[in-house]
Every structure is written in C-alpha cells, then in structure tokens.
Structure 1
C-alpha cells in the first residue's frame, strides 16, 4: 500500500465475529466459505469482506450476532413487592438493587406490576427494547396464574375463543389447565397483548380471580431455575435468539397497536 492509497474502510468480517466471541478467525473463515454468514441479509463467501460493526447486521446460520460489546442483556426474576421502574418517586422497592453488578445504565423492557413476579428483561439496547415492549410487534409472553376456583375445560376454551373486556375483546393465544385441587387452579396463559393487568382482568372476567401470578417466558427466553430476586446476563445463545426475534419483528409490518405501550401485568 502506497502513501496515496486510502486505507480500506470497515473491519474484516472474520475479525469482527472473532471479537464477538462467535469462533476463532480460522473457524469464521470456514463459515464464510461455507456460506453460513449473512451481512444485512445477503450471504457472503468472500474472505476479504469488510463490515461496519456499528451499522451492519450479521447472522450466522440464521441467528443474529451481537457485535456491539457495550450492550448488556440481563434476565431478572422479579420478586413480588418490587415495582418495575429504576427509581420510584413514592419510595417503594424498585429495580435498582438488581443492577448493581453492571456499570451500564440498564432499563426494564415492559413492566410487571408489584404483585406479579417473574421474567423481566433489563438492557441498555434501546432499539431492542422498543421492539420487545411495543405490543404491535406481538412478542409472546407465558404466564402461570394461580386462581380461585376450579377451572373447567369450557373456561379454557372461552379464554382462547375470546372474551369482552371494558377496553375491547381479548383472546389468549394459548391456554391450558395445569392443575386443579383444593378449590384453586393453576392456568398457563400465552399472550402477546400489552394491555394493563390483562391476565388478572381476563381471569376475573371468567370468574376465577388471580391469587398469584408469575411470568415464565418472554419471547424465546425462559425463566428456568433462576431464583426470585436474582439477575444474570443472557447467554450467547439467548442473546442470539432475542436479537434474531427483534430484527425479524422490526423488519416486519407491525400489527394493530394495542392500548398500552408496555405491559403492566
């Protein structure tokens, strides 16, 4: 290269992916040759390919890769009694206590009301947070509700067929009875709605008020065995699944907007 020759722009693809922890440069080069990597949706097979890590979207075998190492993605099992905000003006217990292990300023994606426990995502990735929280993108959530009374098969059918609430009709994507004994039942509900306290209102509408509620799943993320009150960073596989979902949804046409920007279950 002469003094008059401009330096090539961008970063070599294999270097960027190696830095992101996908694999060694040598292995990434093999992936490129095998046609397993796409840049902005286009398969690349040239080893000299350069990218802009800040703007280009990369996926390997269809799974999105996080190139920006400054982004943090954290799963929290929010306990009851904690409000879903980083600073509560009324002095109630908030989410700050769960973010002390990270230097970045993290924010919650969506909300769970104080008496609902379960999976909450904390991140500093605003674009991803918008897609995941906005109900028009239809990201599904799975809840386990303990309710009063014995839920029947007819009630489960009613929940999936749809019921009328004061702010319009609503139907569960899926519903199933997990257990019924001693005058109470466990019901699993899958929803993509972002309406305020929707599970509690649905179950009350069919005559089975909620006594305990936990969110077990958010999109591709499962709460698993994470104890209440504990937080952890997402694994590489979980990050990839979450970013893949967010990119797919952001490129799709949003459906009709729901009544609420963020769920507050």
Structure 2
C-alpha cells in the first residue's frame, strides 16, 4: 500500500507545511495543540489525508500542499477587472508575474477603484468566495465629497434601497472628516456592482476615491499599487475557513 493510499504521518504533514520540524511537531501533538477534523490528536504516528482532512495547530487551519496559485493584487486605478479587453484598456494580466498559469479574479473592482483583488486558479475556492450565500465580507476605504454627519453614517448601517434592491453595510467606521472631505471605512458582504459608490450616492455623499483594503481575512496592508504577493499559509488557511472548504 502506498503512502497516498494509507495516509501521511501527521508530523510529516506539519513539517512539510512549515509549521515546525518533525521533532517539534511531535511535541505539538503531545501537548494536544493539534486537531484533525475538530478532534485533538495526542497520539504519535496518526496518518491523515492532507487533501481532505482539516488540520489545525492552536486553532489555525493548516492548508493542504498547494496545487493552485493564490495571489493578492493591489489593483491600480484605470485598470479593468478582466484578463483581456477588446477595447484595449489596461487589464489585470499586465500586473501578474510572468510564468504563472492562467488565473482569474475573485469578484471585481470597478475601473476607478483601487485595492485588493484575489487572483487564483482554484475554481472551487473562487466560486465560494464570490457566492453571496457565504457572506464573505469586504472592507473599503472611501474618500467622499462633503462632511458626512452621523445621520448619513447610520443610514449606511441601517440600509438604503438601490435600483437593484435593499443593501446595508455590516459596519461603518468614521476615519476622519473636515475641510469638506470625509474618510470612512465600510464593511459589507454584498458583491453588487459599484455597491459602495451607489450607497454613498444614496445618502448624498459621492465617492471621490475608493479602495478595497480587505477581502475576508486577507488584508491589503502595505502592498504597493500594481504589485502582487502570494498568500501566506495562515492567510490561505483562514480563507479556506471563510469559504467553508
């Protein structure tokens, strides 16, 4: 029987994932800090299927060895969220590393909006993250015209009716306001087209600049505009949890 057929020793899986050396992984197991499918494992030599079993160390998901590519891109303004454009406008393809397989974007950002886009060739994950039923939240930083009062901020949380239905923010955080400008952070799980811009229009404060700063557990951080980076092990594990995979 091959190793694939009978499973892989848990400490080997942890070592290959970069969690710890095999010896250190054995200590983690002995201390009860490792779970497989929700159950603590303290016995050495337990075999698992890293592709199917859910493995956690101190509560953090350890993803299976990567068979796909997972990138974060800080999309520039004036770039269309597609891989090719018949009109010749700048596309996402121009900002991806060379020699990567064909990728597709998870969701979209409109032409004028900057910020975090996830790029992958993992179709199952992309479909889950894009489907509204999984309610994966996204956070945007909006620079709007005018000084927003508390009433307008509350309306975003209570919800507004747009042409395609009712939508509300999960959370609204005032960052700064003054000098006829307001900077506000908006978190919501709707994936509707231009939804943040339309919500701001509905409460009377048009968006001047808009950037997405997080998608589920993934943060844009200090990634420069137009650059990409691979997701870390911890980020990918958290993203799999968010997608319930």
Relative to the length of structure 2, the TM-score reads: 0.92
In structure 2, C-alpha distance between the alignment counterparts of 1:42 and 1:179, rounded to whole Å: 46
Counterpart for residue 7 of structure 2: 10
Cα gap change, 1:170/1:92 in structure 2, threshold over 3 Å: closer, same or farther? same
Cα-Cα RMSD: 1.8
In the alignment, which residue of structure 1 is the partner of 2:103?
106
Corresponding position: 1:186 with 2:183:
yes
Report the CA distance shift for 1:105/1:57 in structure 2 as closer, same or farther (over 3 A).
farther
1:47 maps to 2:38: no
Unaligned runs of 5+ in 2: none
- What is the CA distance between 1:11 and its match in structure 2? 1.3
Count of matched residue pairs? 243
Deviations 1:42-81 (A, max 9, x none): 3222212112222222221221112222332211110011
* Aligned counterpart, 2:213: 216
Task: Pick closer, same or farther for the CA change 1:169–1:196 going to 2, 3 Å.
Answer: same
For 2:242, the equivalent position in structure 1 comes to: 245
Deviation readout 1:196-240 (Å, 9 max, x if unpaired): 111011000111111111011111122111111111112233223
Q: 2:115 maps to what in 1?
A: 118
Cα deviations across residues 116-157 of structure 1 (Å, max 9, x unaligned)? 000111122222222222121111111111112221111111
Asked if 1:90 corresponds to 2:87, the answer is yes
Residue aligning to 1:234: 231
Report which stretch shifted further, 217-226 or 97-106.
97-106
Displacement of 1:102: 5.0
State the 4+ residue runs in structure 1 displaced beyond 3 angstroms: none
Matching of residue 172 in structure 1 with residue 169 in structure 2: yes
> Helix, strand or coil: the match of 2:243?
helix
Query: Take 1:237 and 1:95, find their aligned partners in 2: how far apart are those partners?
Result: 25
Distance of aligned partners of 1:102 and 1:74 in 2 relative to their CA distance in 1, 3 Å threshold:
farther
Q: Is the 8 A contact 2:8 2:48 kept in 1?
A: yes
CA contact (8 A) 2:61 2:234 kept: no
Q: What stretches of structure 1 of length at least 5 have no aligned partner?
A: 1-5, 251-265
Q: Within 1, Cα distance between the matches of 2:143 and 2:155?
A: 18
Q: Distance in 2 between matches of 1:125 and 1:31?
A: 30
Matches within 5 A, 1:107-146: 107-146=104-143
**Native 8 Å contact 1:87 1:96 kept in 2:** yes
Alpha-carbon distance between aligned partners in 1 of 2:122 and 2:34, rounded to the nearest angstrom: 23
SS in 2 for 1:18: helix
Once residues 86 and 191 of structure 1 are traced to their aligned partners in structure 2, the CA distance between those partners, rounded to angstroms, is 26
Task: Look up the SS of the partner of 1:202 in the other structure.
Answer: helix
Deviations 1:73-116 (A, max 9, x none): 21111001111112223322111122224533322111101110
